[in-house]
Amino acid sequence: MAARDRDRKIVIVRKKSTRGQQAHSGSWKVAYADFVTALMAFFLVMWIVSMDSNVKDLIEGYFSNPVGFKKAFGSGQNVLAVGNTPVNSEIRRIKLVSREAQRQRFEEISVEILERLAEISAAIDVSAQVEIALTDEGLRIELVDADEGVIFFDRGSDRPRPIAEQVFAAIARTLTRIENDLMIEGHTDAARYGTRNYTNWELSVARANAARRALEAGGLAPHRILEVRGYADRQLRVPDDPYHAANRRVSIMIPFKNPSPALLRAIIERRLPVETD
C-alpha cells in the first residue's frame, strides 16, 4: 500500500484567473449602448428640426413648462391658456406674421409718399425735409424745418404754409391705403414765442392740431387719429443746439397694429384657420 502510494504521480492543475477577461468582455456593451443612445438623440433632433412649426411650439411648450402643460391637458383647459402653451405660441406666431406683413406695407407706403412728394414741386426738394423712418414701434414721418429750404410753419405761428398743406394732403392720400391708427406730435425749438399765456407748449399742440386738420382735409378719416400731442422743446432733435431749425417739426407716428381680439379669440377656440389681418 505504501509502495503504491510512492509510485503515484502528483498532478498539479494550475488555473488561470479570467477575472480581468470577464470584466473586459462586457465593456463593448456599454460603448455600444452609448453609441445607440447618441444615434437616437441625433435622429430625434433631425426629426424635430424637420417638423411643422406648430409641432415645434408644442414641444417647446412642454419642455418650458411641463407641469403647466400637463395641467392644461388634464383639466380640460385650452392648452394655450397656461404658461408657454401651444395656443400662446400660435398667437405669438400670428403677431409676428402680422407685424412682418405690416412692415412690408410700411415700406411700400414710404416709397409712395416720396414719389408723391417729388411731384409736389420741381423747384424745391420737399422730400429732403420729410424724413420717413421705420422703427420698432412703427412708421414715423417727420416734417422738419430748415434755415435754408422749405419752412412748413412761420416762426411762432401755428398756421401751415401752402407747401405744408400740400405735403399733408399727399401723406393723407397715401395713408388711406392702410388701416393703422396714428398719433401726431408737435415740437418747437428752445426759442420763446408768444406771451405768458401762449408758450411753446401751446404752440406745439396748435401745430399738431393744424396737421390733424390738414390730414383730415386730405382724406384721412378722423377716427384714425388717436392722439394729438405737444412736446414744446422737451424732445429736441438736435440736443446740442436747442435753437436749431430741425428741432421745429411735426411728427406723424403710425404704430404697428396688433391682430384684433376677435381673431385671437377665434384662433384660441379653433373656429377658423390661422390667418392674419
Which domain range does residue 106 map to? 102-255
Q: How confident is the model at residue 141 (pLDDT cuts 50, 70, 90)?
A: very high
Report angle CA 165, 167, 168 to the nearest 5 degrees. Answer: 65
Reported as a single tens digit per residue, the pLDDT across 75-84 is 444 444 444 5
Amino acid 64: pLDDT: 61
Q: Has residue 184 been placed in a domain?
A: yes
pLDDT higher than 60, residue 34? yes
Q: Has residue 76 been placed in a domain?
A: no
Amino acid 99: pLDDT: 87
* Alpha carbon separation from 43 to 38, 47, 63, 102 (Å, rounded): 9, 6, 18, 38
Reported as a single tens digit per residue, the pLDDT across 179-233 is 999 999 999 999 987 677 889 999 999 999 999 999 999 999 999 999 999 999 9
Rounded CA separation 98/222 (Å): 24
* CA distance from start to end of the chain: 114
Report angle CA 230, 231, 232 to the nearest 5 degrees. Answer: 100
Amino acid 30: pLDDT: 79
Q: What residues are paired with 130 via a beta bridge?
A: 143
Q: Has residue 10 been placed in a domain?
A: no
Is 160 exposed, middle or buried, given 0-12, 13-18 or 19+ CB atoms closer than 10 A?
buried
- Count structural domains, the chain: 1
Q: Has residue 216 been placed in a domain?
A: yes
CATH code, domain carrying 173: 3.30.1330.60
Low-confidence winner among 158-162, 224-228, 259-263 (lowest mean pLDDT): 259-263
pLDDT higher than 70, residue 136? yes
pLDDT higher than 70, residue 144? yes
**Pairing, β 182-187 against β 225-230:** parallel
Rounded CA separation 92/83 (Å): 13
pLDDT higher than 80, residue 1? no
Residue type, 261: P
pLDDT higher than 80, residue 57? no
Mean pLDDT for the stretch of residues 60-75: 54
Rounded CA separation 233/203 (Å): 10
Q: How confident is the model at residue 17 (pLDDT cuts 50, 70, 90)?
A: low
Q: Has residue 23 been placed in a domain?
A: no
Rounded CA separation 75/15 (Å): 67
Q: Has residue 35 been placed in a domain?
A: no
Locate 33 and state its grid cell: 449602448
* Alpha carbon separation from 51 to 61, 65, 190 (Å, rounded): 15, 20, 58
Q: What's the DSSP call for residue 277?
A: -
Amino acid 205: pLDDT: 96
Low-confidence winner among 9-13, 159-163, 268-272 (lowest mean pLDDT): 268-272
Residues 69 and 61 sit within 8 Å (Cβ to Cβ):
yes
Q: How many CA atoms lie within 13 A of 233 on its CB side?
A: 17
Reported as a single tens digit per residue, the pLDDT across 88-102 is 666 777 778 888 889
* Alpha carbon separation from 52 to 49, 55, 59 (Å, rounded): 8, 5, 11
Q: What's the DSSP call for residue 261?
A: H
Q: Has residue 211 been placed in a domain?
A: yes
Reported as a single tens digit per residue, the pLDDT across 218-260 is 999 999 999 999 999 999 999 999 999 999 999 999 999 987 7
Rounded CA separation 193/159 (Å): 14
> pLDDT averaged over the chain?
80
Q: Has residue 107 been placed in a domain?
A: yes
Q: Could you give the percent of the chain with pLDDT greater than 90?
A: 45
Helices (H), 19-52: 19-25, 27-49
Q: 203 or 24: whose pLDDT is higher?
A: 203
Amino acid 250: pLDDT: 97
**Nearest Cα to Cα of residue 172 among 123, 225, 128:** 225
Q: What residues are paired with 160 via a beta bridge?
A: 153
Rounded CA separation 194/164 (Å): 22
Amino acid 133: pLDDT: 95
